[in-house]
């Protein structure tokens, strides 16, 4: 359930691969619903009338996992009092879902690779080759490529399993689906126990949407069920959430301690406003310092200052005569011919300073419209960097302090 674009992409991949017999690797954090995706693939496949079994590889002891998956012969080890069929034999023709595949031992990985490549396996303690026709869907909540690099997972098995990878988004990446999922869980719980379903106020819904949800959908379902049981009122507001589940209000933000150790919604609001106010004051002070430095550089280098009558927000922080009036002739300062100021009063001459030079050391400058939009400034910076390095994106990206991938995206965005 949900309208997230990331969820739609994962579902579309699952429905496209379902009719085939390709192996699928489902990736995602714990609690996002990877097993649900495996059931979707099985239900839409040609094997839907055959068996489906989910096996948690991390829950089976290392010494018995081979027997669980592939079976064993009588007397093959202590306690093997009879023959036993493994999952790959009993689910022949169906689908087997291997959850937490990263926890599978290396020797078991080699057996699984043989099943995927040829459909053959050996029972523990047997020399007779068995055959099976099972579709394997694997899932992991860790980075398998990292485990391959560390030698804890077979590289050939990784590529065999990830024929079609599906990445299930975390709940924090699909916050727009949180109200829908919460309502579904609340109604399911109310119907099961024959009670009125709980509802969220807009403020309580906002709290859920801004929580980070480390347990993902599993945690959201747990919250819905707890609130259904513990809350006397069927309408859950912000105060009820704070009383029943204060951890939902935890944020990874700096918080100023309340006076006398007090806490609560009003105290938290005041603290957050104080933080933002302090931030704005600091930004304003930095901007004033920057203005003062700007006009001081103009004064010291005897540079031309454009007419600022049209820009009320840009005023010198110090009393510099050069900042308030135009010099008589731009040619005297090496700027060359200047456009008529009456034609466009909003033209600004950018001032460029280099160590050891004064205004007379420059012979030209570009005329640009001001104030410039951030997009125009960014575009111009990219153009200059590309021109400086003759179109070499890697060196231009290093100059701009961004990644080469970001630079490539910006080049396409600005059609450079």
CATH number at residue 203: 1.10.8.60
Residues 385 and 285 in one domain: no
pLDDT in tens, 225-280: 999 998 888 999 988 888 888 888 876 554 444 444 444 445 555 556 667 766 77
Q: How far apart are CA 18 and CA 280, in angstroms?
A: 54
pLDDT (0 to 100) of residue 353: 47
Determine the pLDDT at residue 297. 78
Q: Would you say residue 338 lies in a domain?
A: yes
pLDDT at 270: 57
Q: Is 264 inside a domain boundary?
A: no
Strands 199-200 and 235-236: parallel
Tell me if 256 is assigned to some domain.
Answer: no
According to the model, what pLDDT value does residue 177 have? Answer: 94
Residues 161 and 223 in one domain: no
Residues 15, 160 share a domain = yes
Lowest mean pLDDT among 28-37, 241-250, 321-330, 345-354: 321-330
Same-domain status, 200 and 240 = yes
335 and 401 housed in the same domain: no
In this prediction the pTM is 0.59
The fraction of the chain above a pLDDT of 70, given in percent, is 76
Rounded to the nearest integer, the mean pLDDT of the chain is 80
Alpha helices in 200-316 (DSSP H): 202-210, 216-230, 238-244, 265-300
For residues 215 and 281, membership in a common domain is answered with no
Q: Are residues 24 and 162 in the same domain?
A: yes
Q: Is a pLDDT exceeding 80 seen at residue 4?
A: yes
Domain hosting 393: range is 374-413
pLDDT at 296: 77
Top-confidence range, 76-90, 147-161, 294-308, 312-326: 147-161
347, part of any domain: yes
| Greater model confidence, 319 or 127 | 127
Query: Do 68 and 139 belong together in one domain?
Result: yes
Which of 102-111, 226-235, 355-364, 369-378 shows the lowest per-residue confidence on average (mean pLDDT)? 355-364
* Same structural domain, 160 and 47: yes
What is the b/e burial string over 241-257, where b = at least 16 CB atoms within 10 angstroms of the residue's CB?
bbeebeebeeeeeeeee
pLDDT of residue 273: 66
pLDDT tens figures, 304-322: 666 655 555 454 444 444 4
Please check whether residues 59 and 78 belong to one and the same domain.
yes
- In the Cβ-directed half-sphere of 38, how many Cα atoms lie within 13 Å? 27
Q: Are strands 135-140 and 95-99 parallel, antiparallel or unpaired?
A: parallel
* Domain assignment of residue 255, yes or no: no
The torsion of the CA quartet 317, 320, 323, 324, rounded to 10 degrees, works out to: 100
Residues 138, 82 within the same domain: yes
pLDDT at 133 over 90: yes
**Cis peptide before 371, with omega less than 30 degrees from 0?**
yes
Is 144 a domain residue? yes
Between 363 and 107, name the one with better pLDDT: 107
> Which of 48-57, 338-347, 353-362, 400-409 holds the top average pLDDT?
48-57
- What pLDDT score does 376 carry? 79
How many structural domains compose the chain? 4
CA–CA gap between residue 306 and residue 349 (Å, rounded): 7
Question: Are 48 and 90 contained in the same domain?
Answer: yes
Q: Is the pLDDT assigned to residue 57 strictly greater than 80?
A: yes
Quick one: pLDDT at residue 310? 56
Domain presence at residue 230: yes
Is residue 50 a part of any domain in this protein?
Answer: yes
């Amino acid at each position: 359930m949900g309208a997230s674009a990331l969820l739609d992409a994962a579902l579309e991949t699952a429905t496209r691969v379902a009719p085939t017999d390709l192996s699928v690797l489902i990736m995602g954090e714990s609690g996002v619903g990877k097993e649900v995706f495996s059931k979707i693939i099985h239900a839409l496949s040609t094997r839907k009338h055959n068996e489906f079994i989910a096996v948690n590889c991390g829950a089976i002891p290392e010494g018995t996992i081979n027997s669980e998956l592939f079976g064993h012969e009588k007397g093959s080890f202590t306690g093997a009092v009879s023959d036993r069929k493994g999952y790959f034999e009993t689910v022949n023709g169906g689908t087997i879902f291997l959850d937490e595949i990263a926890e599978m031992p290396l020797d078991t990985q080699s057996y699984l690779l043989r099943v995927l490549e040829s459909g053959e396996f050996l029972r523990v303690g047997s020399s007779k080759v068995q055959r099976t026709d099972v579709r394997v869907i694997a899932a992991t909540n860790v980075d398998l490529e990292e485990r391959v690099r560390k030698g804890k997972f077979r590289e050939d098995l990784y590529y065999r399993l990830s024929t079609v990878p599906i990445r299930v988004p975390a709940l924090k990446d699909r916050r727009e689906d949180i109200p829908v999922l919460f309502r579904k869980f609340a109604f399911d719980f109310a119907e099961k126990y024959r009670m009125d379903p709980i509802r969220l106020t807009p403020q309580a819904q906002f709290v859920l949407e801004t929580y980070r949800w480390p347990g993902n959908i599993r945690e959201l379902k747990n919250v819905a069920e707890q609130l259904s049981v513990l809350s006397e009122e069927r309408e859950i507001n912000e105060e009820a959430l704070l009383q029943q589940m204060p951890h939902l209000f935890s944020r990874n933000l700096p918080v100023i301690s309340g006076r006398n150790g007090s806490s609560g919604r009003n105290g938290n609001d005041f603290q957050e406003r104080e933080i933002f106010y302090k931030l704005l004051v600091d930004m304003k002070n930095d901007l004033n310092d920057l203005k003062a430095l700007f006009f001081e550089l103009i004064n010291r280098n005897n540079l031309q200052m454009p007419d600022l009558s049209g820009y009320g927000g840009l005023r010198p922080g110090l009393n510099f005569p050069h900042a308030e009036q135009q010099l008589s002739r731009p040619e005297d300062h090496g700027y060359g011919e200047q456009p008529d100021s009456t034609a466009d009063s909003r033209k600004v001459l950018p001032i460029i300073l280099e160590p050891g030079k004064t205004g007379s050391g420059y012979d030209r400058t570009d005329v640009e419209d001001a104030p410039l939009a951030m997009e125009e400034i960014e575009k111009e910076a990219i153009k200059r960097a590309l021109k400086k390095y003759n179109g070499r994106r890697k060196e231009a990206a290093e100059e701009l302090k961004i990644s080469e991938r970001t630079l490539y995206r910006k080049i396409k965005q600005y059609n450079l």
